[in-house]
Amino acid sequence: MLYLDAATLAFATTALLLVYGRNYEAWQVAVFGGAASAAGSATQLLLLRWALASGQPWMRRFAPSRDRVQAALAKFPSASFLALTLARATPLPDAPLKIVAAVVGYPIYLYGLATFLGSIPYYWALALLGRAFKFPWWVLGAAAALFVVGIGVDALRRRRKAA
């Protein structure tokens, strides 16, 4: 599941890690979950790179706008290995760095390695938290749903502001 989550929108990662923490040792969640997530993130980067380079008209709606790419490049001029690792080690979104990495052609294997190394401490901590508190499924599902709703509300707000 972590592979699919990371390869798509990655909205359920935290909930999945909290659940996995109930059933597995924290180191197992960190290492194996980190590997699955890194592989998914590398796949997503590969797809994003293809979308950005694609001349297909139907791909334009999936690729980020030129303005977003330019804003990401202005904010994050280089997608270095350390920056990618540190971004993954926190709960903060790493999408701006991912866009920069796709635009500059950052090597997929280095991106995957940085994602893997950064996810280990973060995933370990979430697995420990999941084991300690054993959150009910409905709480985790509600949190994931709120996250998706928040993304939708933010998108609508931006669309209205632009219009």
Calculate the dihedral angle through the C-alpha atoms of 29, 32, 37, 43, rounding to the nearest 10 degrees: -170
CB of 48 closer than 8 Å to CB of 155: no
| Region for 105 from its dihedrals, namely left if φ exceeds 0, alpha if ψ lies in -120 to 50, beta otherwise | left
| Region for 64 from its dihedrals, namely left if φ exceeds 0, alpha if ψ lies in -120 to 50, beta otherwise | beta
pLDDT, tens digit, 9 for 90 and up, residues 4-24:
888 777 777 888 888 888 889
Report pTM: 0.75
Residue 43's pLDDT is 93
Which of the residue ranges 27-31, 57-61, 86-90 has the most confident prediction, judged by mean pLDDT? 27-31
